[in-house]
Structure 1
Amino acid sequence: MVDLQFSTLLFWSIIFALLFLILRNPSCSTSTKAPTSYPIFGSIFTIWKNKERRVQWISDIVTSTPTLTFTLHRPFGHRQMFTANAANVQHMLKSHFYNYPKGDIFRNTLRDFLGDGIFNADGDNWKFQRQVSSHQFNTRSLRKFVETVVDSELSDRLVPILKNAAANNIVLDLQDILQRFAFDNICKIAFGYDPAYLLPSLPEAKFAVVFDKALRLISERFNSNIPFVWKFKRALCIGKERELKITIEQVREFAIDVIREKKQELKKNASLESEDLLSRFLSSGHSDEDFVTDVVISFILAGRDTTSAALTWFFWLLFNHPGVESEILKEIREMNSEEPIYDEVKNMVYTHASLCEAMRLYPPVPVDTKWAANDDVLPDGTVIKKGTRISYHPYAMGRVEKVWGEDWAEFRPGRWLEWTETTRKWSFVGRDSYTYPVFQAGPRICLGKDMAFLQMKRVAAGVLRRFKVVPADKSMEPVYVSDFTSKMKGGFLVKIEERVDP
């Protein structure tokens, strides 16, 4: 017994000694070299030290590596590779697509929340859902429905709130406002349900609150450096795992109630036009409640924070680059309001470039992770062993000097534009999706990409035409943080000013 106690004491003494030596070394948090890896513990101490800026820390290391690829050693021999090499990304997402699925670790970690929905599916299950979803997303009627939903939320809710804030000198958290806007939109589009989250009183809509809590808790689980801990808590149903279980049950119960109501609605009126995605899935014969719930929750997750994150950084960047804002205003004022909405936003070329540039610097999803089903060799020569987790890093990829030039740190929409003398207009020059995988790439490229740009451009035009967004603290230096999607730490506090046309 004494020997056991001594051994235990010695073990923890060594742990704390190592922790003390590593954490007192200031180079741990600033070095752009791969961190030192220790037996059993890997680089866990340096990982912990950088947990508040893990995206930036990994980016610094990746972009300073000649191949733009490095291996992070986690505890107990687990390894995770990170890459910002476009050739590697194309290899993973296209040419060797089936060797790099989401993988069991990813799917098992998120299955409680996402089930087997499209964003947590692999193989034939994913392929089937992709085919069904792709058909629905490509219909003209859905596009028209999205336009109607976005314009209604903009004119009836967002603009009046901003107008009131301007009139009464109210400080708003624009990040929160845009998240509410996006949540209302995606729920209407996915469910045909209006949570009314963006009202003047800024209510705590029940579904929005429980969805947000579930996402926060599942993000903590997903980002855990020692998965054994959350698995142990889940097995005993204690702590945050117990909270997560209860919250996910509330989310899914709510979703199933909406699905059942929609089924009754469609049953009573068979000729009812199917506009939202839920109605379309049910009308096309996909009536299994678990399947439809998984699909719809996945779409809400995808549309909930991505556009709002992009717009938050976009408005902050515009304030700091008045020349860019002037060009966008000029484009907005030249818009032909008699054109169909889709054609109108398609012609917002400079705004489109500005949004792409904002997402280059501050991507809504900074990292995406795959799993190697078999041994492989990446184009840069990196050897991949079966079972390796490998993540491509859009945040780092937007900072690669060889790709974007010495001025990569500058917000410069012009890098996406080309002046055409014959038309006397700008034309958009995009990057291939493997160099700029903000919307993923290959077979899993985002189905809602066009929908996202339509929404962002309509918001940009609707807001900037009437208002100027001014940070409450003009000297603020916002901090980029991320769970599943990126956010501005502490929110984006702003004052709204009515724009006076010249």
Structure 2
Amino acid sequence: MLSLELSTSLFFWLLSLLFLLILNSKSIFTTFFSSNKSPEIPKSYPLVGSFPAFYANRHQFIQWTSDLVTSTPTSTVVLNCSLGRRQVITANPSNVQHILKSHFHIYQKGDMARTLLWDLLGDGIFNADGENWKFQRQVASHEFNTKSLPKFIETVADTELSDRLTPIFSAAAANKTVLDLQDILQRFGFDNICKIAFGHDPAYLLPSLPQEKFALAFENAARISGERFGEFHPLIWKIKRVLNIGSEKQMRIAVNEVREFAKEIVKEKKQELGEKSSLESVDLLSRFLSSGHSHENFIIDIVISFILAGRDTTSAALIWFFLLVSKHPNVENEILKEINDKSEDATFEEVKDMVYTHAALSESMRLYPPVPADGKEAIDDDVLPDGTVIKKGTRVAYHIYAMGRSEKLWGSDWAEFRPERWLEMRDAAAGKWSFVARDPYTYPVFQEGPRICLGKEMAFLQMKRVVTGVLRRFRIVPAFEERIEPVFIAPLSSKMKGGFPVRIEERV
């Protein structure tokens, strides 16, 4: 017997499909059952818009929309969604600058995105607009700019690396076992961000690879939040939430677990700080509480937002980085030269100065950005620089994945993994490089404008510490089954479908 959840979804879908079949049955079946590999703009129908094409391409949505925008003269497409809604997707740097900087006041997170993410993020900084966002940004910016935070981040990453990641890799190399590197790095990232945000160690990266309750609840809440964006209409998930069925029942359970856990941590931290005459902890929660921001919901929302931002982004970047480096021995050799020039206990400044590694990470994120697309909502009528007319309430997304794969922006060799495109030779005799940053609106991996990522430097520092610690001792060898190629997917942040199986080899 069908569940109520399935019945609700099918009701809307079958009603729409019936209407379309009456209009044009042959065209609909072609659209619905084909993979729609052609970059042609999908056909739009009354009521359901281009939803049949969206549905047919739901498992390759990022690649499909990337093909669409990069095949147009303006690198912008306008798609018709269900019930008259429109979606604009662009990979045009001029448009991106317009959205993120010059007309920032028009392009907000918007009610739709805020509603979709509200259960998990509440009024947190990544789900806030207007004065609420400005206030949180000022508070967070102050805490991120303190001199003690980078050292704390460095210490946390080094401890997790030496005490947990390295022993797991050593055991896998000795036993010739296959690891899911995606799972390992996500656990590494989760432990790191929880220590930095809460001052709490979930110990998710123990050798036993435990099923830690808070981590699993957070994963489920983030996954279901991402799935809401793909519903035929927001009314479907809202009905499921009211009826407390299916995925929305799972969402309620997961969010309750996350927020109750966070509430308990805040309570303990307040008690801990109340018993001390001065601040000894440097985690973000302690900083916020000590600076006078003690409203419980505000603190919980902002800390959960930072966990979401830091949980998967660095691990997602590193997964694709290690895959690309394993396929390019010349790049790996250059990185090893740079690593071997540093001491085993390289300082923050030494790691910061690893320009070739920085270039390789930047190049990897060009091809596989941790967040492949980001959307805004226009709160007023507008016109983009390429002439695209934007009506109030329209969702406008800039497609980071497509921009990194655009021949217009990166040349005919855009598909090549070539860190040298980010470098210029500073001293040919000594083989010294200088890093050359690209226009941030051509490469908006960390956003830009007023919402530029506060954790950009933190992310690069963490990634370089991991790259240095891992590649100095180990070689990462992909272990996919024959003829299996990794597939890029993106619920909220990017992942490798089915995980990243690898073998670990000790360097001689």
TM-score, normalising length: structure 1: 0.95
Which residue of 2 is the match for residue 405 of structure 1? 411
Which residue of 1 is the match for residue 388 of structure 2? 382
Which residue of 2 is the match for residue 134 of structure 1? 141
Letter in 1 for 2:325: L
Change (3 A) 1:482 1:19: farther
Which residue of 1 is the match for residue 364 of structure 2? 358
CA distance in structure 2 between the partners assigned to 1:358 and 1:172 by the alignment: 21
- Secondary structure of residue in 1 paired with 2:433: strand
Which residue of 1 is the match for residue 334 of structure 2? 327
Segments of 5+ residues of structure 2 without an aligned counterpart are: 1-13
CA distance in structure 1 between the partners assigned to 2:16 and 2:97 by the alignment: 45
Letter in 2 for 1:208: A
- Secondary structure of residue in 1 paired with 2:306: helix
Task: Kindly indicate whether the alpha-carbon contact (under 8 Å) linking 2:179 and 2:503 is maintained by their aligned counterparts in 1.
Answer: yes
Which residue of 1 is the match for residue 85 of structure 2? 78
Shift, 1:432, TM fit: 1.8
Shift, 1:13, TM fit: 4.1
Deviations 1:283-309 (CA, angstroms, capped at 9, x unpaired): 000001100000000000000000000
Residue among 309, 313, 324 paired with 1:306:
313
Shift, 1:14, TM fit: 4.0
Shift, 1:338, TM fit: 6.3
Shift, 1:335, TM fit: 1.3
CA distance in structure 1 between the partners assigned to 2:502 and 2:59 by the alignment: 24
Which residue of 1 is the match for residue 164 of structure 2? 157
- Secondary structure of residue in 1 paired with 2:434: strand
Shift, 1:11, TM fit: 7.6
Letter in 1 for 2:464: K
CA distance in structure 2 between the partners assigned to 1:426 and 1:475 by the alignment: 37
- Secondary structure of residue in 2 paired with 1:116: coil
CA distance in structure 1 between the partners assigned to 2:406 and 2:270 by the alignment: 50
Residue among 457, 468, 477 paired with 2:485:
477
How many residue pairs match? The answer is 492
Deviations 1:397-450 (CA, angstroms, capped at 9, x unpaired): 001112100010111111101012376411101112111000011010000000
Shift, 1:249, TM fit: 0.9
Letter in 2 for 1:127: K
- Secondary structure of residue in 1 paired with 2:108: coil
Shift, 1:475, TM fit: 5.4
Counterparts of residues 409-488 of structure 1 (less than 5 Å):
409-421=415-427, 424-473=431-480, 476-488=484-496
CA distance in structure 1 between the partners assigned to 2:326 and 2:336 by the alignment: 13
Counterparts of residues 22-61 of structure 1 (less than 5 Å):
22-24=28-30, 29-61=36-68
Which residue of 2 is the match for residue 65 of structure 1? 72
Counterparts of residues 242-321 of structure 1 (less than 5 Å):
242-321=249-328
Change (3 A) 1:148 1:429: same
- Secondary structure of residue in 1 paired with 2:277: coil
Deviations 1:264-320 (CA, angstroms, capped at 9, x unpaired): 000111324131000000000000110000000000000000000000000010111
- Secondary structure of residue in 2 paired with 1:24: helix
Shift, 1:10, TM fit: 9.5
Which residue of 1 is the match for residue 507 of structure 2? 499
CA distance in structure 1 between the partners assigned to 2:499 and 2:249 by the alignment: 28
Deviations 1:231-285 (CA, angstroms, capped at 9, x unpaired): 1111222222122112101110000000000000001113241310000000000
Which residue of 2 is the match for residue 349 of structure 1? 355
CA distance in structure 2 between the partners assigned to 1:111 and 1:19 by the alignment: 39
Task: Decide which moves more: 101-110 or 191-200.
Answer: 101-110
CA distance in structure 2 between the partners assigned to 1:16 and 1:247 by the alignment: 39
Shift, 1:167, TM fit: 0.3
Segments of 5+ residues of structure 1 without an aligned counterpart are: 1-8
Task: Kindly indicate whether the alpha-carbon contact (under 8 Å) linking 1:43 and 1:75 is maintained by their aligned counterparts in 2.
Answer: yes
CA distance in structure 2 between the partners assigned to 1:49 and 1:10 by the alignment: 18
Which residue of 2 is the match for residue 233 of structure 1? 240
CA distance in structure 2 between the partners assigned to 1:497 and 1:453 by the alignment: 25
Change (3 A) 1:239 1:16: farther
Residue among 142, 148, 152 paired with 1:145:
152
Letter in 2 for 1:195: P
Task: Kindly indicate whether the alpha-carbon contact (under 8 Å) linking 1:114 and 1:120 is maintained by their aligned counterparts in 2.
Answer: yes
Shift, 1:12, TM fit: 6.0
Task: Decide which moves more: 417-426 or 20-29.
Answer: 20-29
Task: Decide which moves more: 72-81 or 11-20.
Answer: 11-20
CA distance in structure 2 between the partners assigned to 1:132 and 1:497 by the alignment: 44
CA distance in structure 1 between the partners assigned to 2:249 and 2:89 by the alignment: 32
Which residue of 2 is the match for residue 5 of structure 1? none
- Secondary structure of residue in 2 paired with 1:57: helix
CA distance in structure 2 between the partners assigned to 1:140 and 1:79 by the alignment: 45
Residue among 358, 370, 375 paired with 1:369:
375
Task: Decide which moves more: 101-110 or 475-484.
Answer: 475-484
CA distance in structure 2 between the partners assigned to 1:197 and 1:426 by the alignment: 38
- Secondary structure of residue in 2 paired with 1:287: coil
Shift, 1:225, TM fit: 2.9
- Secondary structure of residue in 2 paired with 1:195: coil
Shift, 1:337, TM fit: 4.8
Letter in 1 for 2:419: P
- Secondary structure of residue in 2 paired with 1:82: strand
Letter in 1 for 2:498: G
Shift, 1:480, TM fit: 0.2
CA distance in structure 2 between the partners assigned to 1:454 and 1:190 by the alignment: 16
Shift, 1:476, TM fit: 3.9
Letter in 1 for 2:216: V
CA distance in structure 2 between the partners assigned to 1:255 and 1:20 by the alignment: 53
Task: Kindly indicate whether the alpha-carbon contact (under 8 Å) linking 1:23 and 1:45 is maintained by their aligned counterparts in 2.
Answer: no
Alignment of 1:105 with 2:129, yes or no, is: no
- Secondary structure of residue in 2 paired with 1:468: strand
Shift, 1:27, TM fit: 6.4
CA distance in structure 2 between the partners assigned to 1:27 and 1:440 by the alignment: 34
